Amino acid sequence: MSIFDKQDLERRMQGALDALHKEFSGLRTGRASIALLEPLMVDAYGSMMPITQVGTLGMPDARTLSVQVWDKTMVKSVEKAIRESSLGLNPSVDGQIVRVPMPELSTERRQELTKVAAKYAEQARVAIRNVRRDGMDSLKQMEKEGDISEDEQRRSSTEIQTLTDSFVKKVDEALSQKDKDILQV
């Protein structure tokens, strides 16, 4: 007899929400955030390495990021990685420090970023609904095989739907907060 695992579904839905927060951290608002540079890969010693493995990321002030590059031969590679990323940033080199001033966002760019945030949120909702579908399918299978009664199947289905609704609500709240951050001038 297989047992319905609500914790597993909750863990998977939380994973979708965590992934959304990670995606959001990479979206640029008007303020500087180290999370913006963390996903960048740098061509170092003939292979691609995360930027965090070639230097220390810092935030000297609210509108500037910095990368203290450990090996001075890597400074040009770090600058190039930042410049060629899709972030629209223009780094400047100062010795072994690459400074990245955060430009003001135009109204059009802010609108584009809210659309990107909405797309990320929709992907998270779809992932949560897929987890719900998996849970519902396994409940139907368990009922068909006689492992649980029809009443248990209905009660568990209601629990799964309630769980799904709560996670979709969390996604909507996160999107609303991110939109507010992006549109704040």
Tell me the CATH number for domain 34-101. 3.30.1360.40
pLDDT, tens digit (0-9, with 9 covering 90-100), for 6-56: 899 999 999 999 988 888 877 766 667 787 788 888 988 888 888 889 999
Asked if the model's pLDDT at residue 1 lies above 50, the reply is no
Show the CA angle centred on residue 105, arms to residues 104 and 110, nearest 5°: 160
User: Is the pTM above the cut of 0.75?
Assistant: no
pLDDT, tens digit (0-9, with 9 covering 90-100), for 56-91: 999 888 788 899 999 889 899 999 988 887 677 889
Three-state DSSP class for 117? helix
- The predicted pLDDT at position 2 comes to 45
Stretch(es) of the chain classified as CATH 3.30.1360.40: 34-101
With tokens 């927060």, the residue in question is: 21
Three-state DSSP class for 63? coil
Three-state DSSP class for 164? helix
Stretch(es) of the chain classified as CATH 1.10.132.20: 6-25+106-183
Tell me the CATH number for domain 6-25+106-183. 1.10.132.20
Asked if the model's pLDDT at residue 3 lies above 60, the reply is no
